[in-house]
Structure 1
Amino acid sequence: MFAFSQNLSKKEIAKLEETAQKVTIIRDNWGIPHIYGKTDAAAVFGLMYAQCEDDFKRVEMNYIEKLGRLSEIKGQSVLYNDLEIKLLIDINEAKTDYKNAAPWLKKLLDSYADGINFYLYKHPEVKPLLLTHFEPWFPLLWTDGSIGAISTADLSVGELKAFYSGSNEKTAYVEREKNVQTGSNGFAFAPSKTASGNAILYINPHTTFYFRPEVQVSSEEGLNTYGAVTWGQFFIYQGFNENCGWMHTSSNVDVADMYAEKIVLKKNKVFYEYDKKLIPITEKEITIKYLENGKLVPKTFKTYFTNNGPIMAKRDGKWISLKSNNRSMNSLIQSWVRTKSKDFDDYKKAMDLKANTSNNTVYADSKGNIAYWHGNFIPVRDKNLNWSKVVDGSISATQWKGLHEVNETVHLYNPTNGWLQNCNSTPYTAAGANSPKKEDYPAYMAPDGENFRGINAVRIFSQDKKYTLDEVITDGYDSKLSIFEILIPALTEIFEKNIKPTDAAYIELSEPISILKNWDYYAKENSIATTLAVEWAYKLDPIIQKAYVNEGETDQVENTKKFAKNATADQLVPQLQAVVKDLNAKWGTWQIPWGEINRFQRSNGDINLKYDDSKPSLPIAYGPGSWGSLPSFKSSYQNGSKKRYGYNGNSFVCVVEFGSKIKAKSVLAGGNSGDINSKHFFDQAQMYQNGQFKDVLFYKDDVEKNAERTYHPGE
């Protein structure tokens, strides 16, 4: 770090000090930074500085990953993860984009780097793992704030390793792990559906905990945005300004495609066939260093590219290339300009950039508009092909033919029912009976299926009710595990038909079955049925967990119904016996209330969380979103623990009403700081546990009344 400090000249330090004086950071009573800059660029400087104060290690780690340098700290085990990143995200393209950026964008990028570098200059005690200096082109490597920002169709790192490792080992094609639901919920209510006559937006991303902190960033150039920022980015990803708000939910819109290439070897040179012509394949050497025995060892890969993209795998003897759009200048521009939208038309102009590759958008505004867009960047393709499968790369007929205009994509403006929902589910139930119609769109636009959160949301919002902010929160925390409306009756019927009172299974399970039969399917802290049901469902056929489906596949709800209808006693009963046995072994009884084992703990600030039964933790009533609960708390056993610990689900949750003045409430998993010694490390935990929200301090007067600390960066 001393060496790094020497790299800043007196002139550079003076410039950074001058910028810092143009920024004021007010920390409120929850430690949330409210950043006020003279200019947008000054505000970005302050935002990056504040993020580093709260959790520099997460800021740094996100860029280590996007630079493809994880192997330098984690070793050879992540070598091919780095190779995947380097094949999909070209550092030189990011540098070129920076050079070509419009002056306003270049100022923001410079301020991004300046804010972080100024933090490191002022904090020589902070020892970065790798990145001692941040470059202004870094944000152009990572232009989308989503947790699923990289799209590889269903090509896996395992297949990439099999292709590029040079080994002859046959690696079977394994469908990429996108099946486990992470997901999010977004709800919008029109004035006709609210008590105040103002539109209301509900923002509920389900991510790994501590993936985003809560911030406000404002300038004298029209920026005034509140919400959640992904560590290391300079735009608020999910949030609102005085005029409108936006919530993103992960989408399965087809944005990346796999091509089977016809490879020809001639005179020791590699060619690929395209429209019956042979074209020399592009070869690039990529060197990655990995940590081994305390030293960095370089490994060079000869990689291949066709007109479609990098070669990523070999299937059925054919080289498979990937066409994707995993970073772009327009994506970064769109991520920024939407945060300054003044109205619906302004937001639609941001959408017209067509550069959001990973997400759906739920929207509401102060004029009473509500809207939903399913995806945004959607290439035009041949409707007769199944684009979730490998297509022929040797013909021009399979090429993308530009992008669909936004009005051609699946979207919905101001439905007459007055509400919209998306829970990573099909857009064709977004507004109940007023939803878009599946037959009006090509299959690749919305292969997404229905899931149990989507079913739950439609059930709740179809009731005749006018919402207040608090009522939206109450319904947003509906904990019904609706999958069990299908699974439990199947279990009880099979048990009653097939298990005789003299059977050992009957003696073991008659009481647990009775509890499940009389359960109302709501996850509750004191519910034994919730424990039995959740533990049991995880032991059933994994098909019922498959949330993200491709074109032509049946969805989670249909798969569950089919499984329940056809299941035999062997597929349902021994699994419950195993649950009872496990609980008895761990606790001495199977009658364990859900809150006893479903726990929230934050005992350290590590990125890879560690859990400990001997340390304090809080009981959590709600369950995993994959079983239908709108609030999601995904927990698992960790290293032989007796209790399940949450690691994913409700993270930043916010509800906002767009009246003449903004009214909003929010809660964050744990707290805003990643420093275990900060009082804001876990100060929101009890609110999180109880589904209680704090008032959002949006206006400066309110922020100042609740100020804990006011300062310029560096002070």
Structure 2
Amino acid sequence: MNSKLTHSLFRYSFLLILAFITSIVSAFPSKQWKAWKEQAKRVKIIRDEYGVPHIYGKSDADAVFGLLYAQCEDDFMRVEMNYIEKLGRRAEVFGSKEWANDLYIRLIISQEEAKQDYKNSPVWLKKLLNAYADGINYYLAKHPEVKPALLTHFEPWYPLLWTDGSIGAISTGSVNQSEVAQFYGLNGQRLTYQKINPHDPEADLTGSNGFAVGPAKSKSGNSLFYINPHVTFYFRPEVHVNSQEGLQVYGAVTWGQFFVYQGFNPYGGWMHNSSQVDVADNYAETTREGSKGMEYLLDGKWLPMKEQTIQLKSRDKEPININAYFNHRGPIMAQRDGKWISVRSYNRSMKSLIQSWARTKTTSFESFQKVMNMRANTSNNTVYAGKNGRIAYWHGNFVPKRKPDIDWSKVQDGTRSELDWKGLHALSEIVQTIDPKSAWIQNCNSTPFTVAGFSSPKRDQYPVYMAPDGENFRDRNAVRLFSSPGKLDLESLIRLGYDRKLTAFELLIPALVKAGDKRIANSTDFTSAMDTLRNWNYYVSVNSVAQTLAVHWGQKILAKIPRKVLFGGESDMIQSIEAYLAAGKEEEMCQVLENVLADLTKTWGKWNLPWGAINRLQRIDNQVDFTFDDVQSSFPVPFASSTWGMLPSYNSKPFPNTRKWYGINGNSFICAVEFGPTIKAKSLLAGGQSGDKNSPHFFDQASNYTEGKFKDVHFYLKDVLKHQKSSYHP
């Protein structure tokens, strides 16, 4: 090549690079850019063979800076989307159809309160909040090719909008978004309350499992721990965060948050799963139009409602202003039987965020219990196991004191102040078990009164609102497995967590077979299907035709089963099914099977398909709204929904353009830990670490996921370096 041409090309390339760097620097104040660069020098990110980021920072704030930068590298879209939602701004991206969601959020999550909390936050917390924003904004500055959907700059008060890492972090009692839209006229008029169907088959599809094993049940004498949240796929990545200020934590972080929500440190581990502990109540308010605005009646006195204008913007319509109402309990969110419905809740607080961070730095059971005593976690239970052999379970955390003889699942009389919350229960007063004699703990979003077998808490010692939860089939399966004789190690705990039995069908299928035997068969297909089910052992397999029949039949029959509602408003699925089977619905059960055979034949050309031919895992893009394609490659999956007692839950369904069923929810981040002299841990992540479909870590854990094969966790620096694939400063 001509030397002059080579020189010209080199000079042109250099000028392009210089212009690119100059454009970045000029977009931000030089002082800000210099500060970011200095902080980045104090952070190192090491990626292992699965793309897991191991973040090392000098200070906690440096580690947070690196953590958010790494999250943005992996999936900025999900980081941004989570805050678009918590800001109540989805309509600005997706159109005015999202106004109901936005108003719902804006009524219960106050941006002004979050900003004030940021101003009042202690110095150490403010450093973390600043580092959160700086890490994201620095990433955006360095990557101008990334085009945010809406948020081009992140504020340090954003994490104070979303102070709990749960997928179900918002509680509003029985009020839903539809009622909010109806009350505030988002559909053009105020409609009367329409009762929601209490049986929604989709409602049973979610959940989580948490297990803890004490020394007496452990082969090594070390405590064991099992983290198994069931959430939407790709809702959380796997991270390892370290600082020279004592932070050394591994686990799953919810996109855009700066604390590990499900995880462990050298001293202990924590797992959160949802329950029905009552943390939000509804009140029917008596109202009138006063001389200065709306008023409500309390103890015989008329008090003024607070009014606030909330502006909702959208991508496709002009902004609208909503005149929202509040009283001393909270926002007015619905109208039923002519009464305005207020909501008392606790959906965000600085205290909750502090608790979420503080537990990641606990160093003993006692320090963990001290953090639990903050009682600001509103959405979930906590399973704990520690290096000192201690194991524990708390059913909820934030539990308001109330009159114990009232059914708090119902709407209360808003005119009576005696029905208001009276402070919080002490930590020692809530349902819990610490170091149970059974030496094991399990919770699968079920009643706490089976949590430790014979060592479980007793129902009659607690008010109903503390634990209205019913029993489910995962709970029954876990109790069966842990009650078996023998001790566990890390590998056998993983096998237990991946037990393949569908416990619900132990009840359902014998009843169906009995009904079929009484019936005069009108087709050979029906007889063959009955024989297939009769010979099934209720264990899942990609080759099982019986599983195909059972799951299809079970979904249809479940929709016909009335809920057995307990005092406290919650349902017990096992009792519901037992009551249905006792009601003599034999012909109905058989007819549903006939319908299943017809549907399968219509869809597939035959009814006797193995489960793995239908049930698949696929990831072809990174859209939040899943897309699937029967033509493209996918993996067969043996697992089924948690509804049927499946511990390794896998919730799948067909989509409008597919015959096959594709997984969207269930086992996501799974981790087993042994707290010995050194930490031993194994983990698995649905799909892969990265949201970039061109990344080798977009779907590299898929095969292992479908088989339940865990990878080694690299917790210590020497192991991280041994498996290092890249190392860099942000």
* C-alpha separation in 1, matches of 2:215 and 2:638: 32
Amino acid at match of 2:433: L
Matched, 1:527 2:544: yes
Which residue, 234, 253, 256 being the options, matches 1:229? 253
Change (3 A) 1:50 1:547: farther
* 2:460 equivalent among 419, 435, 439: 439
Task: Give the whole-Å Cα distance in 1 for the aligned partners of 2:204 and 2:564.
Answer: 6
AA aligned to 1:170 is T
Q: Which is further off, 306-315 or 165-174?
A: 165-174
Following superposition, which runs of at least 4 residues in structure 1 exceed 6 angstroms of deviation? 1-5, 545-550
Q: 1:646 aligns with which of 663, 686, 691?
A: 663
1:101 aligned onto 2:121: yes
Matched, 1:471 2:492: yes
User: Which of 472, 484, 507 is matched with 2:524 structurally?
Assistant: 507
Structure 1 counterpart of 2:303: 279
CA shift digits 1:152-207 (9 cap, x unpaired): 11111111111111514334121687833311000000011111110000000000
Cα offset, 1:235, TM superposition: 0.2
Distance in 1 (CA, whole Å) between partners of 2:424 and 2:613 is: 51
Give the aligned residue type for 1:557: I
Distance 1:4 1:273 in 2: 58
Report whether the alignment pairs 1:426 with 2:447: yes
Q: Which residue of 2 aligns with 1:345?
A: 366
Structure 1 gap segments, 5+ residues each: none
Q: Does 1:676 align with 2:693?
A: yes
TM-score, reference length from structure 2: 0.95
Seen in structure 2, the aligned counterparts of structure 1 residues 209 and 246 have a Cα distance that, compared at 3 Å, is: same
The aligned counterpart of 1:51 is 71
Matched, 1:216 2:216: no
- Alpha-carbon RMSD across the aligned residues, in angstroms, is 1.7
CA contact (8 A) 2:564 2:575 kept: no
Further displaced range: 148-157 or 165-174:
165-174
Output the amino acid matched with 1:467. Answer: L
Q: Percent identity?
A: 53
Aligned residue runs from structure 1 range 306-705, under 5 A: 306-497=327-518, 499-501=519-521, 504=522, 506-542=523-559, 551-705=568-722
Q: 2: distance between equivalents of 1:690 and 1:267?
A: 68
What is aligned with 1:87? 107
Structure 2 residue aligned with 1:266:
290
The answer to whether the Cα contact below 8 Å between 2:137 and 2:154 also exists between their aligned partners in 1 is: yes
Offset, 1:545:
9.7
Secondary structure of the 2:204 match is coil
The one-letter code matched in structure 1 to 2:539 is Y
1:275 CA drift (Å): 1.2
The equivalent of 2:145 in structure 1 is: 125
> Is the CA contact (8 Å cut-off) linking 2:193 and 2:337 kept in structure 1?
no
Give the corresponding residue for 1:198: 222
Q: Residues of 1 paired with 2:380 and 2:489: CA distance?
A: 27
| Residue aligning to 1:174 | 196
Task: Give the C-alpha shift of residue 268 in structure 1.
Answer: 6.9
Query: 1:242 maps to what in 2?
Result: 266
Displacement of 1:572 in angstroms is 1.2
CA distance in 2, matches of 1:490, 1:212: 40
Q: Give the whole-Å Cα distance in 1 for the aligned partners of 2:627 and 2:571.
A: 37
2:180 pairs with 1:160? yes
Aligned equivalent of 2:279:
255
DSSP 3-state at the match of 1:334: helix
Distance in 1 of aligned mates of 2:650 and 2:136? 33
**Preserved CA contact (<8 Å) 2:473 2:645:** yes
Q: Equivalent residue of 1:124, what SS?
A: coil
1:390-429 per-residue CA deviation (whole Å, 9 max, x = no partner) reads 0011111001000001100001000011100000000000
SS in 1 for 2:194: coil
Note the C-alpha offset of 1:252.
0.9
CA contact (8 A) 1:194 1:468 kept: yes
Distance 1:406 1:76 in 2: 43
> TM-score normalised to the size of structure 1?
0.97
SS at match of 2:673: strand
* CA deviation after TM superposition for structure 1 residue 493, in Å: 1.6
Write the distance in 1 (CA, Å) between the matches of 2:663 and 2:256: 24
My pick for the range that moved more, 26-35 or 171-180, is 171-180
The question of whether the paired residues in 2 share the 8 Å contact of 1:425 and 1:451 is answered with yes
| 1:39 aligned partner, one-letter code | S
Which one-letter code corresponds to 1:95 in the other structure? K
- Match of 2:326, as an amino acid? F
Secondary structure of the corresponding residue to residue 99 of structure 1: helix
The whole-number CA distance in structure 2 between the counterparts of 1:547 and 1:646 is 29
Whether the 8 Å contact between 1:54 and 1:672 is mirrored in structure 2 is yes
Cα deviation, residue 507, structure 1 = 3.3
Q: Return the offset for 1:251.
A: 1.3
Further displaced range: 44-53 or 547-556: 547-556
- Quote the Cα distance in structure 2 between the aligned partners of 1:107 and 1:712: 20
- CA spacing shift, 1:601–1:168, aligned 2, 3 Å: same
The 8 Å contact of residues 456 and 628 in structure 1, kept in 2 or not, is answered as yes
Assess, with a 3 A threshold, how the Cα gap between structure 1 residues 39 and 543 changes in structure 2: closer, same or farther.
Answer: farther
- SS of the counterpart of 1:707? coil
Give, in angstroms, the shift of residue 508 of structure 1. Answer: 3.4
CA 384–300 in structure 1, closer or farther in 2 if over 3 Å, else same: same
Cα deviation per residue 1:564-620 (whole Å; 9 max; x = unaligned)?
221423431222112111211222211101111000001111121100000000001
In structure 2, relative to structure 1, the CA distance for the partners of 1:572 and 1:175 (3 Å cut) is: closer
Name the aligned partner's letter for residue 150 of structure 1. Answer: I
Q: CA deviation at 1:547?
A: 11
Q: Which moved more, 1:109-118 or 1:164-173?
A: 164-173
Q: Which amino acid aligns with 2:99?
A: L
Partner of 1:137: 157
Residues 637 and 109 of structure 1: CA distance in aligned 2, closer, same or farther (over 3 Å):
same
Structure 2 residue matching 1:273: 3-state secondary structure? strand
- Structure 2 unmatched runs, 5+: 1-19
Aligned to 1:36: 56
- One-letter code aligned to 1:73: V
Is the contact made by 2:679 and 2:715 (CA closer than 8 Å) also made in structure 1? yes
Letter in 1 for 2:43: V
Q: Distance in 2 between matches of 1:326 and 1:452?
A: 30
What amino acid is aligned across from residue 104 of structure 1 in structure 2? W
Q: Could you say if the C-alpha distance between residues 303 and 291 of structure 1 is closer, same or farther in structure 2, counting changes exceeding 3 Å?
A: same
Q: CA deviation at 1:267?
A: 3.7
Give the deviation of 1:548 after TM superposition.
10
Secondary structure at 1:663 match in 2: strand
Aligned mates of 1:350, 1:526 — CA distance in 2: 48
Decide which moves more: 533-542 or 209-218: 533-542
Secondary structure of 2:38's partner? helix
Indicate how the Cα distance of structure 1 residues 268 and 107 shifts in structure 2: closer, same or farther if over 3 A, else same.
Answer: closer
Question: Which whole-Å CA distance do the structure 1 matches of 2:33 and 2:25 have between them?
Answer: 10
Counterpart amino acid of residue 568 in structure 1: K
Whether the aligned pair in 2 keeps the contact of 1:33 and 1:215 (CA below 8 Å) is yes
Q: Does structure 1 conserve the Cα–Cα contact (< 8 Å) formed by 2:161 and 2:348?
A: yes
